[in-house]
Structure 1
Amino acid sequence: MNRFHSPAPSSTYRLQLSKDTTFADAVELLPYLDALGVGALYASPILESGAGSNHGYDVVDPTRVSAERGGEEGRRALVAAVREHGMGFVLDIVPNHVGVDVPQVNPWWWDVLAHGRASQHAATFDIDWDAGPLLLPVLDADEEKALSELALSDDRTQLRYYERAFPVAPGTGDTGTAQEVHERQHYRLVSWKRGAAELTYRRFFDVSTLAAVRVELPEIFEKTHREILRWVEAGDIDGLRVDHPDGLSDPGGYVRRLRAAIGPDRWLLVEKILGVGEELPASWPVNGTSGYEALREIQGVFVDPDGAGVLTQFAAEHTGRKESAHAAEHAARREVADTILVAEVRRIAGLVPASEPQQGGFAPVHLEQSHLAAGRERVEAAVAELLCGFPVYRSYLPEGREALETAVTVARTHRPDLADVLGEIRAAMLADPAGELASRLQQTSGMVMAKGVEDTAFYRWNRFVALNEVGGDPSRFGVSPQEFHRAMAAREASWPATMTTLSTHDTKRSEDVRARLAVLAEIPGEWARRMRRWSAAHPLPDRSLELLAWQNLVGAWPIPAERMSGYLTKAAKEAKLVTSHVEPVAEVDEAIAAWPAQVLADAGLVAEIEEFVARIAAPGRSNSLGQKLLQLAGPGAPDVYQGTELFEYSLVDPDNRRPVDWAERRELLARLDDGWLPEVDTEGAAKLLVTASALRLRRYRPEVFTGYRPVPAQGVAARHAVAFARSASLVAVATRLPVGLAERGGWGDTVLPLPEGTSDWHDVITDTAVEGAAPRMADALSRYPVALLVRPA
């Protein structure tokens, strides 16, 4: 439980700033966001990033604001406009890494390449200098041929590989060929294929163009945060969201230092994926996370658990294998540890003393070379297995000892022959929880989890992809109302200032795609029959990819072939079953890329898909409105991802970073303010109405959003309602499992007894009075599948 409760905004609105959405563009959007009821603008990173970056996580110069986004003048104008509208400003920051794809635009990295260990920035980066020259995996696969193509600039101060440039160390470029000069540098250009196994600097996950920085060092923290802290000191920033703290050497120490720097009154969040039942360490002085645990709980209550059996059976039948989610995740994590993250595994193993098992214990000995090699292989295998055993993204020793113990137990179960080595590693970590071995192993476990589970297993294990979401647990088929209420009450009690979310720039599918797919859990038999027939007519090179493809096709329908092709190509490569980013298979890639156009060219099939989507779309929209209302009215500070105030059917990035039609949203909001009550249709104005109604209430009547208690419905259809009260003056109610509700003939005599038997309630969504202390659900939800009931102030 954390009691560090800084003021949180009533809500946030996430805006992805880039050269195409600049500070000036954001200023123009503020009147709309203000009218929508948003409490704070929540901006993606705004420090100088790579040219054309649409996300900002590839910061190349932490000492200045992005010129492409509008520069310092534009930033100041944006802050001033935010203040004029009475809104807060929340900023996403990236402490873990910087972008090094184009060395000359990152002055720190350029200096390190030029001067090596003597560089004034050598300590900035997490580089293994003892391993020899810094390896840069930028050459084509044929390394020997690529090296023959190196050239020197006219003044011999740069090495060139086509459009790429690298510095020549002072005094090393005066004579010789480009290849000879290359051999004198503090770095070596190598094939991109060597990066996974031989890289000598820590990266962001497996992305070699993002180099980790050592913010655990006070002087590095100061220079990487100087500009951001200047903005904080000036009063320009009300809150910070910290990207990927699990990649840091000491996340707890980092957030404590950051809290000390920004003071107690700034809102501070971490992008942290919490496992089911996991909480942030109590010692972290933060207000919460960016909300993925809330996403799992809120979406999950709209999933029918009764659909699990049929969908499980169908997935096993279709793929020809019966595999649990846990087994699939472990296999994917181990594959990642053995391939794309093997450099990290080897670096960790190198911190374990050369040893071999002996009678009476595990003790260092002098070994022959062959025995040393065998010993290193066992240590590397033990490290890889241990990384795959953590039940959470990472432990935080000494607080997270339980997670480490679980990881050791799991690893011993999979590899009992490595029990002695695992025991030695465990003992070393516990003896020095702040040491390099413990730090590197913990920060790498998060990388293995993210790449193995989110970016591999979630594209392989496709029983029901609505659950394959960041922060999700596909093995848990939905969330019961009881579990939902417990989670919401716990959030209000322990983390009332945390952020909640349903869609982010990192989600695999938008909230509305998942809401539509949730309907499949109510009609699993019909879905299985249809998909079996469709996949027979248009097969893909992999059966599990077919499960993924057809679910996403109907979830995002209508979707152009180009968007679907881009998504499927990425998904297949992430799954790594029949093709991959590292080992592409041309004929497989071509077949997958061509599949969407072939499907959309089949007129008969398209007609059937349209008929099926028309059937699930309406209950899907009911789910969308329900989960949106529960998020916006529930505990925590809700975030709205750009554009999702209308129904928005996007898939994983870059699909979810497409331009937003702001003019349409402005026009619809103006019509709503004139008293229009739209239908729940494809236009999406009904979702905008629900969003604006809840955001405005949160902003202008914050006192009613306190406390939490379930409000159970009574009657024959009670299981189809989920409702809660905030204070004694607000009740939110939503419809769940709408297909089942319709099949049983509607609400019947079901009623919703309101708190304390009061009858003076008003639905702010429809602007109508609600009659009685226990209104009939059929009346309360006669217009929309949701209601937000409020008593007068």
Structure 2
Amino acid sequence: MDQTTLANARIPAATYRLQFNAAFRFQDAERIVPYLDALGVSDVYASPFFKARAGSMHGYDIVDHNLLNPEIGSSEDFDSYCETLRRHGMGQILDFVPNHMCIEGGGNPRWLDLLENGPSSIHGNFFDVDWSPVKKELTDKVLIPVLGDQYGTVLENGELVLSFEDGAFFIHYYGHRFPIIPKTYSPVLTLRLSELGRLLPPDHEGHQELLSIVTAISHLPFYTERDPALVQERYREKEVIKQRLWKLCRDNWAIKEFINENVRIFNGEKGNPRSFDLLDGLLRNQVYRLAHWRTATDEINYRRFFDINELGAIRMENHQVFEETHRLLLELVREGKVTGLRIDHADGLYDPTDYFRRLQRACFLQTRLALLPAAAGEQEAPDNEKGFAEGILELYDEMISVSPQSKPFYIICEKILGKSERLPEDWRVYGSTGYEFANAVTGLLVDTGNSREFDGIYARFIQERPNFAEIAYQKKKQVMRFSMGGEINTLGHYLNTLSESNRHTRDFTLGSLIKALTEVIAHFPVYRTYTATRKVADRDRQYIEYAVAKAKRRNPAMSESIFTFIEDVLLLRFHDSTGREEQEQWIDFVMKFQQLTGPVMAKGLEDTAFYVYNRLVSLNEVGGTPERFGIPLEAFHGQNIERTKSNPTAMLTTSTHDTKRSEDVRARICVLSEAPALWHDCLRRWSRMNLGRKVAVHGVRVPDRNEEYLLYQTIVGTWPAHDPLGAIQRPFVERLKEYTLKAMREAKVNTSWINPDALHEEAALHFVETILRDVPSNSFLADLRRTIPGIIRCGLLNSLSQTLLKAASPGIPDFYQGTELWDFSLVDPDNRRPVDFEIRAAMLKELQAAERERGARALVRELLETMDDGRVKLYLTWKLLSHRREHRTVFELGKYLPLEVHGPQSDNVCAFERYNDDKTLIAVAPRFFTRLAAQSRGLLLGADVWEDTRLVIPFESTGRLYRNILTGERLVTSLWEGKTSFPLAAVLADFPVALLETFEEE
């Protein structure tokens, strides 16, 4: 793998996302490296592979940033895999998780240490725990909302079990394991001491040692102790106590049995509530308070990833935390085994701007230190490394002072951008992971002219006229009330404290402040702002003023002065009397506010509103705007032009592990936008046919009309493209049922994750099962099979256009695992199903051989005749990525020019030119294939479809030779109405999309 140069990162040509887990290990990845290389991929884009919770399917639940995940493979497996990448000249971009860790199950040593040592733990500042929370009973404690029922019920059911292991005591709750503070061992060790005296005389050395241990325990400093010397003493002595206790039990059978019997007594007897008093007393003295999982809504006092209790946020703003969590990562960067980074959930960080500054600086240092042996000699380098490091960092700082936006390492960030929102200019990253491109290309495939018709179809079917903005507002408030109430309450109390310091704001009540704060967040137009100093950016100021103004208008009965106070704080409009310390508190409040708005937006919008507003669900994508019915062609070109100027090497994606639907599902659903009459007729027929299959629950037929509307779109979008037996396979039905259940719970209308309605859910799943039952009497299934082939074909053609646009647009194309063939996956976990790479590798070899033997033109005709098998998409992907790799400069640095199309089908084409001094490329991607199908008698190619539609090539002479990279055909520009052009009938004579390049006759 190449090392970075002094100022320039190693930029990938194309990336391929791999999902590592126990079913896909380093050895599996190593085996497919030759295939990915042959496909044209330059860099593997790896899911997190540091040690995660046992059984993790995605790797985001990390328990140790400095260990490889043993379920994925050993360090030797990893090294072998990386060496294979190096031999093929490929890099590796790692998905890194800086915001949170998994704290569930007892596998996180830092979290266990915190639970054993409280606020004085050496990891006390590692996690974002509020040790002085609103609920005073939790002072110096941490609430663990993990129990499946009320604490007392769980305790008296015997579900909390004390154990003695290797000299230490623990509490077990199913798969969870919690340490007992050594300071509280004494009640267990001293229970029934008189009984011990009958087994061992008081002068027995074992008896004496036990009493000595109890005495040592009594001298341990408390877990609230902050004096460094006493903290060090407790850490040292508690481990000595554990060792002495374990040795005593190994050496003395009577002592071991005595302790085991005490443990049994502490664990109580089910049916005898008083028998649990001892265990209850022990638990009351721990750092943690075990509680019913529902208490997280109001009382949780550690920051989480969104509302997921088992993912605890870490304080990356703490430089020690940064150093500890990046140690292994930076080693891999230094060794060249990681050549780029994707930073997960940057919006969750306290100060993303500062984080990216530190990360670039650290990566620069490691890539330069990697050159030390060559620069200083093998023997000299280790001794002089510290001096070299200081010199390298001085060089870096000097470079940054001259060019503040220098980015020596390829880093991209997961960032969801709102309408017209751009990445903060001071982030030292190469761009985002590409959600905005996915939504732009999807929007391009939507027929915007049919927006009003679709509004009417949707409203009539569900029998109401939904407003997306209102749904989003209500769902964000719902999330703040039922999922993140604890965070809102904490922030409200913080704001109340700030208000008390000024006589003009001290009369605001806590309740009114929390309500006003909730309203402002509910109206926030973007995921977050990025204030970190006393200066608020103009862009952030506009967002805050907008949200406050909307909140004011929405709540005329509330005092306007409360909203003005919140606006003053968020905009840091300090009063003359605001002292320095209070100003720092305001800034801290703003930064904590910023960490909260993102999760509320994500949970309220993506994970709730997107499952409620179902007008055309291909638009309900991460970072999408479902209320906007597609985008004009000019807007797509405008985004590409802007990316060329600002982030030409940002990632472009169409499917990810987070997308609600795969690229091919969205491309097919977009076809419906072209045919509102067809869709309306289908809905009318299908709902009538399936009415008798609905079951009444609570007096209402299930599924409700909105759920039914979503289901029909989902079936259309995911129906298998190739079903030669004409039969619905069981896995397809099960996948739809799993998705339906998740969609209903996410919508939080008739059921939810917190309060599942089993009757409603069972009735809805029964409906899915029955309407897809493959029996002769199922008229719906018969009608679906008659209707869907045309939609499928147009959807596949949409997918080919989408693939071309991704590969040719400004940016770095990313391919999610398996999507080089047709992939009709839904939201996770459906999109994490195993991928058959052997089939793909074999297909690619066959395609390459066939092209050599028969030529591209004959091959593509065959591929179009058998589109259902997906080889046509694999062929297109291979040809595009291979060409990108061979001609990187024009794709990465070339200018972008939208091209005009004239003629009867001019609206059906997106075309643009990429060019630099040496080369010109033209991409031609048709759309709205149902219109073209009306013109065609066959494959949607040639003059039957395109008639006299022409592609205008400005600044080009007539008689210029071009070659179609996909078919090998040669084309010559000609003059048409005074303009140099190509007839689209010739450009698209043999294949539905085209990539043309200039060339000279040999």
Give the TM interval when normalised to the shorter protein: over 0.9
Q: Structure 2 CA distance, aligned partners of 1:235 and 1:5?
A: 15
* Distance change >3 Å, CA 357–CA 82, structure 1 → 2: closer
Cα deviation, 1:137-173, whole Å, max 9, x if unaligned, reads 1111333211222221035600122342211011213
Asked if 2 retains the 8 angstrom alpha-carbon contact of 1:90 and 1:240, the reply is yes
Name the SS for the 1:478 alignment partner: coil
Quick check: 1:325 aligned with 2:468? yes
2:807 aligned residue:
632
Cα deviation, 1:361-393, whole Å, max 9, x if unaligned, reads 84225xxxxxx9xx2211111111111111111
2:92 aligned residue:
89
Asked if 1 retains the 8 angstrom alpha-carbon contact of 2:443 and 2:631, the reply is yes
Name the SS for the 1:129 alignment partner: coil
* Distance change >3 Å, CA 419–CA 541, structure 1 → 2: farther
Q: Structure 2 CA distance, aligned partners of 1:604 and 1:333?
A: 41
Cα deviation, 1:584-613, whole Å, max 9, x if unaligned, reads 111011112222211111632112112222
1:741 aligned residue:
932
Q: Structure 2 CA distance, aligned partners of 1:207 and 1:535?
A: 37
Q: Structure 2 CA distance, aligned partners of 1:296 and 1:163?
A: 40
Q: 2:743 corresponds to which letter in structure 1?
A: A
Quick check: 1:401 aligned with 2:549? no
Note the C-alpha offset of 1:318: 2.0
Asked if 2 retains the 8 angstrom alpha-carbon contact of 1:5 and 1:287, the reply is no
Moved more, 594-603 or 401-410: 594-603
Cα deviation, 1:395-423, whole Å, max 9, x if unaligned, reads 11222222112111122122231532222
Quick check: 1:379 aligned with 2:379? no
Asked if 1 retains the 8 angstrom alpha-carbon contact of 2:95 and 2:342, the reply is yes
Quick check: 1:494 aligned with 2:701? no
1:138 aligned residue:
146
Moved more, 638-647 or 383-392: 383-392
Asked if 1 retains the 8 angstrom alpha-carbon contact of 2:171 and 2:179, the reply is yes
Q: Structure 2 CA distance, aligned partners of 1:421 and 1:437?
A: 16
Q: 1:767 corresponds to which letter in structure 2?
A: G
Pick aligned residue for 1:257 from 354, 358, 362: 358
* Distance change >3 Å, CA 356–CA 704, structure 1 → 2: closer
Quick check: 1:718 aligned with 2:917? no
2:216 aligned residue:
none
Q: 2:819 corresponds to which letter in structure 1?
A: T
Q: 1:137 corresponds to which letter in structure 2?
A: P
Quick check: 1:272 aligned with 2:274? no
Quick check: 1:363 aligned with 2:497? no
Q: How does 1:544-563 map to 2 (within 5 A)?
A: 544-558=706-720, 560-563=732-735
Note the C-alpha offset of 1:547: 1.6
Cα deviation, 1:295-352, whole Å, max 9, x if unaligned, reads 1111211110122112111211222221221111111111111110111101111111
Asked if 1 retains the 8 angstrom alpha-carbon contact of 2:342 and 2:414, the reply is yes
Note the C-alpha offset of 1:289: 0.2
Note the C-alpha offset of 1:430: 2.5
1:196 aligned residue:
297
2:326 aligned residue:
225
Note the C-alpha offset of 1:562: 0.5
Q: How does 1:40-189 map to 2 (within 5 A)?
A: 40-103=43-106, 105-131=107-133, 132=138, 133-148=141-156, 149=158, 150-155=160-165, 157-175=169-187, 177-189=278-290
Q: 1:580 corresponds to which letter in structure 2?
A: S
* Distance change >3 Å, CA 354–CA 108, structure 1 → 2: closer
**TM-score of the aligned structures, taking structure 2 as reference length:** 0.76
Pick aligned residue for 2:25 from 22, 26, 37: 22
Note the C-alpha offset of 1:526: 1.5
Moved more, 228-237 or 111-120: 228-237
Q: Which runs of 5+ in 2 are unaligned?
A: 1-6, 189-277, 365-406, 573-582, 695-701, 721-730, 852-858, 937-944, 975-980
1:522 aligned residue:
674
1:764 aligned residue:
965
Q: Structure 2 CA distance, aligned partners of 1:52 and 1:610?
A: 39
Name the SS for the 1:435 alignment partner: helix
Cα deviation, 1:249-305, whole Å, max 9, x if unaligned, reads 111111111111112431010100011211011111111000001111112111101
2:629 aligned residue:
477
Q: Structure 2 CA distance, aligned partners of 1:306 and 1:436?
A: 47
Note the C-alpha offset of 1:355: 8.3
Asked if 2 retains the 8 angstrom alpha-carbon contact of 1:97 and 1:213, the reply is yes
Q: Structure 1 CA distance, aligned partners of 2:349 and 2:963?
A: 49
2:988 aligned residue:
781
Quick check: 1:792 aligned with 2:999? yes
Q: How does 1:565-604 map to 2 (within 5 A)?
A: 565-601=737-773, 603-604=778-779
Name the SS for the 2:183 alignment partner: coil
Name the SS for the 1:352 alignment partner: helix
Note the C-alpha offset of 1:6: 4.2
Name the SS for the 2:951 alignment partner: coil
Q: Structure 2 CA distance, aligned partners of 1:663 and 1:34?
A: 14
Q: 1:725 corresponds to which letter in structure 2?
A: E
Q: Which runs of 5+ in 1 are unaligned?
A: 366-371
Quick check: 1:729 aligned with 2:920? yes
Q: Structure 2 CA distance, aligned partners of 1:406 and 1:272?
A: 21
Q: Structure 1 CA distance, aligned partners of 2:957 and 2:950?
A: 13
* Distance change >3 Å, CA 357–CA 243, structure 1 → 2: closer
Q: Structure 1 CA distance, aligned partners of 2:174 and 2:529?
A: 43
Q: 2:744 corresponds to which letter in structure 1?
A: A
**TM-score of the aligned structures, taking structure 1 as reference length:** 0.96
Q: Structure 2 CA distance, aligned partners of 1:783 and 1:180?
A: 79
Moved more, 136-145 or 713-722: 136-145
Note the C-alpha offset of 1:700: 1.1
Asked if 2 retains the 8 angstrom alpha-carbon contact of 1:541 and 1:578, the reply is no
Moved more, 312-321 or 196-205: 312-321
Q: Structure 1 CA distance, aligned partners of 2:500 and 2:704?
A: 44
Q: Structure 1 CA distance, aligned partners of 2:526 and 2:570?
A: 17
* Distance change >3 Å, CA 546–CA 418, structure 1 → 2: farther
Quick check: 1:314 aligned with 2:505? no
Name the SS for the 1:734 alignment partner: strand
Q: 1:542 corresponds to which letter in structure 2?
A: D
Asked if 1 retains the 8 angstrom alpha-carbon contact of 2:14 and 2:812, the reply is yes
Moved more, 508-517 or 709-718: 709-718
Note the C-alpha offset of 1:440: 1.3
Note the C-alpha offset of 1:703: 2.6
Note the C-alpha offset of 1:119: 0.8
Q: Structure 2 CA distance, aligned partners of 1:198 and 1:220?
A: 26
Q: 2:985 corresponds to which letter in structure 1?
A: A
1:368 aligned residue:
none
Name the SS for the 2:989 alignment partner: coil
Q: Structure 1 CA distance, aligned partners of 2:174 and 2:19?
A: 32
* Distance change >3 Å, CA 75–CA 357, structure 1 → 2: closer
Asked if 2 retains the 8 angstrom alpha-carbon contact of 1:357 and 1:420, the reply is no
Asked if 1 retains the 8 angstrom alpha-carbon contact of 2:8 and 2:409, the reply is no
Asked if 2 retains the 8 angstrom alpha-carbon contact of 1:362 and 1:424, the reply is no
Pick aligned residue for 1:340 from 468, 474, 483: 483
Q: Structure 1 CA distance, aligned partners of 2:85 and 2:554?
A: 54
1:615 aligned residue:
790
Q: Structure 2 CA distance, aligned partners of 1:305 and 1:695?
A: 31
Cα deviation, 1:712-758, whole Å, max 9, x if unaligned, reads 12211111111111105101101111111232552110111335135
Quick check: 1:564 aligned with 2:704? no
1:646 aligned residue:
821
1:754 aligned residue:
953
Aligned residues: CA RMSD: 1.9
Count the aligned residue pairs.
780
